[in-house]
Structure 1
């Protein structure tokens, strides 16, 4: 067992890659789903075992091919990315049973095996971004996940899914180009691509080349911001989420943007944090300004959006603003709140999009005006939707409240009272669009178009209920989320100049 434990970092990536190749050779969706489900259920145990090891004995360093870093590619697991790895793998495992009926309903039979192949490639890419300690290897995994994501989105039933995938491809390519230019500048300055080694060498770069360091930071920031849909670089996200297959939207909303946020945090605090004097630059204020704009502008757009799926897509842009707000605050409470919201938003938004997928599975409808009274026809689904929606608002007793509480404390500790009121104000706007939907679902008479609707099969309902229960659980017991996020935040801030 000890020999297997030593290989866990590689196994976390190899398993989905090999399974993806096998799914690509299959012609039927059933066997491909069975293999995908098995791999998805195994990955959280691998990620959890590594996180446990990190918490017990410190970071894990795995040299690929026996090449000692910084000369070879290193997989490195610490509290921060161990936290993210567990999140990604758990989301995949919990939501995968939902895919069985949803994918069969929305995607033609001959494409189902290909769908699961692309999902496993996307999953491997996302896990690879989080686990790698090499800047260029992160770019490779970023492209693997992105290319697979373009295909997953294009498989949507609506023809506009092709346009959405193409728009995302263009924006993703621009983002990847910015990122690789920034990584190339770091290599020219330090002669290394290993993130730990780059962080150690940057302080020795001559003062005359300080502007080059800032330029590298700027390129990497823009590149990753395009991937994470930081306002106003979010134009690709609403269409991608709206026209992708229902399960794909739920998975991407819970994982893809969160991994990009992780990568931004890694560069800001671990790579550049010991060299760049963030206090002397307006970076924090700039990130906070964009975060607040996202929280208000995207939420206001969601209030007037008639398409349920698109409304939740704009909600995701707003919620990303809360996470980046914690990055901009860059103090213990604020950064803890941002890291906690990575988990909380992943859970809540996965639940919401799965609920939308269940609605579409039963009715084929997504326009709000056509779904009045559906809460009476699909009560369990809509109760789960309501719980996750209250989590987005930040109602006490839900996980969203915990995130916003820590962000408010972080703002108060900075002496920025206005931010506390802005967090409250944006939450009230969230209440408006969530309340509008709930009023329509529960207080209106059912329309004729949904007369035959009912809750989905158990394979779809159980993942949805589990995520709704997690929204409440993480709002009451915060030992795992806040505890680990606080530990990660302390470690990140300890390396900042």
Structure 2
């Protein structure tokens, strides 16, 4: 009985738990409660992925109303994969959170933090599981509004302007997406994705379809911070509390990439999106420009969280590059990088949270010599850095291997060379941090620092050690991503 309710439990559990955090209120109660809820949510996603891989697509009709009249939750290999790493990262980051929260956010606001965190998690999971277009927008706004408030919790004065900038840009993106959805509803008279995919070919060449496609593409590009629409992201990541940076960097933009995949492949269809309109020819230059320019800008940053933020813009470029090929190999590379980058970047921001706890700074000058005082933290950061570079036996290598293979299949030698060159750029900014941390004389702050607590180190190492595990045992990540790519290329059936 419970097995049949798994799709709705995936969303309902964190949604109901969020207001309960306000009722519990006390820090000693609310944090263990929220952590338990996140791990239960992760267990549900593991069960869903297992069921999808064994039996195929799962559908759930809310209230017993069949699609397209009712709201349908639909879980295929792609959505199950996204649910798995979003819920897993959400659980692991919150398990890591208590000591970091105690240092960066007043204890009197921890219950509000947990409420917002669970609401953000609910929105991200809802986007991945719903088969209804308007619900995509609703869950997108739930996650976005809670993200703005979470970023504003940062103690530094720059946190509020960063949150406001994110709010303005996010609102523009959401407005574009809503207009696009409205136009598609006008054309087809339905909001169910599978039903709309069946009806759209009749109106595929109309001006309304073209305008809807344009609004959706720009709106989603804003949400996922695709270069050059990324201006909100560096400040949002740099000035948010460490826990928030780790969670949002690992999940939010990845779910926006998922929305792009869903709209362009499953709803509009590969023929309309890529053959008629040439979406790939528009996305590929933007992806490559983002990879090179954002990686170059990252080299010159003095704040390591800001450096990682620009690195994230470049990594989004890798995901979009995979999508732009519109082939099984390219899509596999783009989808597996959603997972791999979530592990790598989440772990790197968690390592920076450990540094922030001890130094109350993540500026390079203050981090001089910190490798001697915090060897386990910086060793974890170095491991994540190897993943960003794409060293063999790390998860980052697998992503780049698929992307280079897709480029060669497409006879795009220049694209393959740019992907390889970007690894050298990543090497520069990763080595810059390691050189300062291990080979410089300790700064005043570093002399007084000590290793981070185990409650933060263990989750950080679990996440970054996973980048090595999935870099070696690729069938667990790239294998599922390949299944997801096949599902995407097959459309909604």
What TM-score, normalized to structure 1? 0.97
Residue aligning to 1:227: 223
Q: 1:153 aligns with which of 144, 151, 154?
A: 151
Q: Is the 8 A contact 2:348 2:381 kept in 1?
A: yes
SS of aligned partner of 2:66:
coil
Residues in 2 aligned to 1:206 and 1:115: alpha-carbon distance in whole angstroms: 44
Q: CA deviation at 1:275?
A: 5.5
SS of aligned partner of 1:451:
helix
Residue aligning to 1:409: 405
Q: Is the 8 A contact 1:295 1:317 kept in 2?
A: yes
Residues in 2 aligned to 1:190 and 1:410: alpha-carbon distance in whole angstroms: 35
Residue aligning to 1:44: 42
SS of aligned partner of 1:323:
helix
- Residue ranges of structure 2 left out of the alignment (5+ in a row): none
Q: Is the 8 A contact 2:264 2:270 kept in 1?
A: no
Residue aligning to 1:93: 91
Match status 1:253 vs 2:249: yes
Residues in 2 aligned to 1:466 and 1:278: alpha-carbon distance in whole angstroms: 39
Could you say what the CA RMSD is over the residues aligned between the two structures, in angstroms? 1.2
Residues in 1 aligned to 2:247 and 2:45: alpha-carbon distance in whole angstroms: 18
Q: Is the 8 A contact 1:203 1:275 kept in 2?
A: no
Residues in 2 aligned to 1:356 and 1:188: alpha-carbon distance in whole angstroms: 47
Q: Is the 8 A contact 2:370 2:438 kept in 1?
A: yes
Q: 1:279 aligns with which of 275, 286, 295?
A: 275
Residue aligning to 2:82: 84
Task: Spell out, residue by residue over 1:146-186, the C-alpha distance to the aligned partner (whole angstroms, 9 max, x if none).
Answer: 11011100000111111111111111111110001000111
Residues in 2 aligned to 1:26 and 1:243: alpha-carbon distance in whole angstroms: 28
Q: CA deviation at 1:282?
A: 2.9
Q: 1:475 aligns with which of 471, 478, 489?
A: 471
Matches within 5 A, 1:111-150: 111-150=109-148
Residue aligning to 1:194: 192
SS of aligned partner of 1:157:
coil
Match status 1:365 vs 2:354: no
Q: 1:35 aligns with which of 33, 36, 41?
A: 33
Q: CA deviation at 1:205?
A: 2.5
- Residue ranges of structure 1 left out of the alignment (5+ in a row): none
- Greater than 4 Å deviation, 4+ residue runs: none
Q: 1:165 aligns with which of 159, 163, 175?
A: 163
What TM-score, normalized to structure 2? 0.98
Q: 1:265 aligns with which of 261, 264, 269?
A: 261
Match status 1:70 vs 2:62: no
Match status 1:421 vs 2:417: yes
Residues in 2 aligned to 1:426 and 1:296: alpha-carbon distance in whole angstroms: 6
Residue aligning to 1:441: 437
Residue aligning to 1:491: 487
SS of aligned partner of 2:60:
strand
Q: Is the 8 A contact 2:368 2:443 kept in 1?
A: yes
Residues in 1 aligned to 2:416 and 2:252: alpha-carbon distance in whole angstroms: 28
Residue aligning to 1:387: 383
Q: CA deviation at 1:494?
A: 3.1
Residues in 1 aligned to 2:130 and 2:490: alpha-carbon distance in whole angstroms: 21
Q: Is the 8 A contact 1:203 1:274 kept in 2?
A: no
Distance 1:62 1:495, change over 3 A: closer
Residue aligning to 2:299: 303
Match status 1:343 vs 2:372: no
Q: Is the 8 A contact 1:199 1:274 kept in 2?
A: no
SS of aligned partner of 1:72:
coil
Aligned residues: 492
Residues in 2 aligned to 1:220 and 1:281: alpha-carbon distance in whole angstroms: 14
Residue aligning to 1:396: 392
Residue aligning to 1:318: 314
Q: Is the 8 A contact 2:404 2:419 kept in 1?
A: yes
Q: CA deviation at 1:274?
A: 5.4
Q: CA deviation at 1:206?
A: 7.0
Q: Is the 8 A contact 2:267 2:491 kept in 1?
A: no
Q: Is the 8 A contact 1:333 1:406 kept in 2?
A: yes
Residues in 2 aligned to 1:231 and 1:396: alpha-carbon distance in whole angstroms: 27
